[in-house]
Chains A and B, each alone.
Chain A
């Protein structure tokens, strides 16, 4: 598979997800089922590698790109991972421009509070996952 379609397919997945591993269902659909560019086993390997590595879990798309298209595919994967982050700048600019409006400020406050709730959920999942792994290792 060439680097450009890899980039576009991975970009489709990363642009339509809102968390590191959120792109996984779309990537499986495109790379494993539709184009058969990688196997389920390779996708699992990519996810495992992404989870076990420092930094963002979303970096697993680099491994997906590598499995699908070698080194050019890996670079395409990296670009697909970082491209959506640039959307933050126009969003931040708009938020800052409108933040003096009470309703907008209240909306941002609501998002911050809900983010905290989601963080508790994510942290709890990580903690439970780790404890289960430790229990399995001990038994």
Chain B
């Protein structure tokens, strides 16, 4: 299924601009909307996450650019970028221009804290959606053991990533290390079986 340009931009403008807590929350909301509509699946989402993590700047903006590009090429990518970034930027600008001391009132601070709490839970939940497909794959290593099962990959790469995070490595270094380690463990499956290559 493929959304029209209008459907795409409406979804992005709504989901990317309806919560505090940053772009990772918006990505989770976008994932829910786009997978529920059948426009992308979890494999495509996973690749988009991987690429957006390696793209400089704001992660959610790279994510929406890829959403727009996937369905409408430049005609979708550029408006998607605008839809995700303009509303928030206008509010930032308005607050900066008026020098509003938005944290002066306890009620505002409480509302923000609750919003960020919900955002934190959503972000942790989105991690589960990324990992789950790997845990659900049932295939194990073939005879001879040349290939690594998905669960083993999660275990090894996940452990290394956790260790690097605890050692204070930057996110980019964590991702690079994960890519190198995982590359040393060939994936099972045929090229035709790769579900997220765009035809």
Contact = CB atoms under 8 A, between A and B. Distances in A.
Contacts of B181: 110
Interface string B37-79: 0000000001111111111111111111110010000000100
Given A52-B103, A88-B51, A137-B110, A119 B124 contact: yes
A20 B179 CA distance: 22
Contacts of B51: 88, 91-92, 95
Contact of A54 (B17, B123, B131, B157): B17
Could you tell me the dominant secondary structure of chain B's interface residues? helix
B141 interface: no
Contacts of B1: none
Contacts of A78: 85-86, 89
Contacts of A18: 53-57, 59, 170-172
Interface in B164-181: 165, 170-172, 174-175, 177-181
A17 B89 CA distance: 19
Interface in B90-137: 91-93, 95-97, 99, 102-103, 106, 109-110, 112-117, 119-128, 130-131, 134
A51 B77 CA distance: 25
Interface of A: 14-20, 23, 45-46, 48-60, 62-63, 66-67, 74, 77-78, 81-89, 91-92, 95-96, 99-131, 133-134, 137
Contacts, number: 326
Given A95-B50, A130-B120, A137-B109, A81 B57 contact: yes
User: What band does the interface of chain B fall in when counting residues whose beta carbon is under 8 Å from A?
Assistant: 35 or more
Nearest to B48: A92
Contacts of B81: 82, 85-86
A111 B53 contact: yes
